[in-house]
């Protein structure tokens, strides 16, 4: 995604717009149009991993809520079977964010309690420590950064390949209104989110 970047209009809703740095590229991507979702999508692959990032754009500028409701019951493996390797003109806003949360309440709900008490036994980990140790908290931190260089999520980078020869049927993916993104591998979804406001 490094062809060009310029400020372009992003429709937050029917009445509100904002100019945002938007990347432009003409390249080859996995692309699909999903009539049942009233949306289109592209897929980018992360380098040296099975991770990939999906961008799902509702066809209607105000279609984010409806799209998210439809995605709740979707079989993503079935959607994946419908990708077509296509020449696509892409306009995608640059975005990034960090997320962090304390996992202790979730671990306690899962029944993982001893590690947070004085009964915790980490002697196999801290061999030399004369002091007993327990865990006070477990912090999870993640980041997403989509820019001209590519996409990063937990230090992974996206690569785009270009085929030597394929039928020419150019598509467009102009993300100038709220959209969904998903980071997944062939077996699981790791992150989901949406971009609705800058």
Structure confidence by residue, pLDDT tens digits, 141-193? 777 777 665 555 543 333 444 444 445 567 999 999 999 999 999 889 988 99
Binned average pLDDT, 10 residues per bin, the chain of 198 residues: 80 93 91 98 86 95 96 94 94 85 87 85 69 77 70 45 52 96 90 89
Distances (CA, A) of 36 to 56, 63, 73, 76, 88: 13, 13, 12, 13, 21
Q: CATH says 4-98+156-195 is which class?
A: mainly beta
Please give the pLDDT value at position 11: 96
Please give the pLDDT value at position 148: 66
- Tokens (6 digits) for 190: 């790791």
Please give the pLDDT value at position 186: 87
Please give the pLDDT value at position 155: 39
Please give the pLDDT value at position 136: 83
Q: Where are the domains of the chain?
A: 4-98+156-195
- Tokens (6 digits) for 81: 């079977």
Tally of CA atoms within 13 A in the half-sphere of 1 that contains its CB: 29
Span between the terminal Cα atoms of the chain, in Å: 20
Please give the pLDDT value at position 159: 41
Close Cβ partners of 14 (under 8 Å, ≥ 6 residues apart): 61, 62
- On whether the CB atoms of residues 44 and 29 are closer than 8 A, the answer is yes
Please give the pLDDT value at position 31: 97
How many C-beta atoms lie closer than 10 Å to residue 1's C-beta?
Answer: 21
- Tokens (6 digits) for 118: 């004085």
């Amino acid at each position: 995604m490094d062809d060009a970047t310029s400020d372009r209009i992003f429709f937050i809703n029917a009445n509100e717009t904002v100019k945002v740095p938007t990347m432009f590229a003409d390249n080859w991507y996995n692309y699909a149009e999903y009539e049942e979702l009233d949306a289109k999508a592209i897929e980018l692959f992360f380098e040296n991993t099975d991770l990939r990032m999906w961008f799902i754009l509702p066809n209607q500028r105000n279609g984010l809520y409806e799209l998210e409701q439809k995605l709740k019951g979707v079989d993503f493996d079935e959607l994946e079977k419908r990708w077509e390797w296509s020449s696509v003109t892409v306009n995608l806003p640059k975005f990034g964010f960090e997320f962090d949360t304390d996992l202790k309440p979730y671990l306690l709900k899962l029944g993982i309690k001893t590690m947070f008490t004085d009964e915790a036994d980490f002697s196999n980990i801290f061999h030399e420590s004369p002091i007993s140790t327990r865990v006070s908290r477990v912090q999870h931190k993640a980041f997403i950064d989509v820019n001209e260089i590519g996409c990063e999520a937990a230090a992974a980078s996206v690569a785009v390949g270009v085929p030597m020869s394929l039928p020419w049927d150019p598509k467009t993916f102009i993300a100038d209104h709220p959209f969904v993104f998903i980071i997944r591998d062939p077996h699981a979804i790791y992150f989901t989110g949406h971009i609705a406001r800058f």
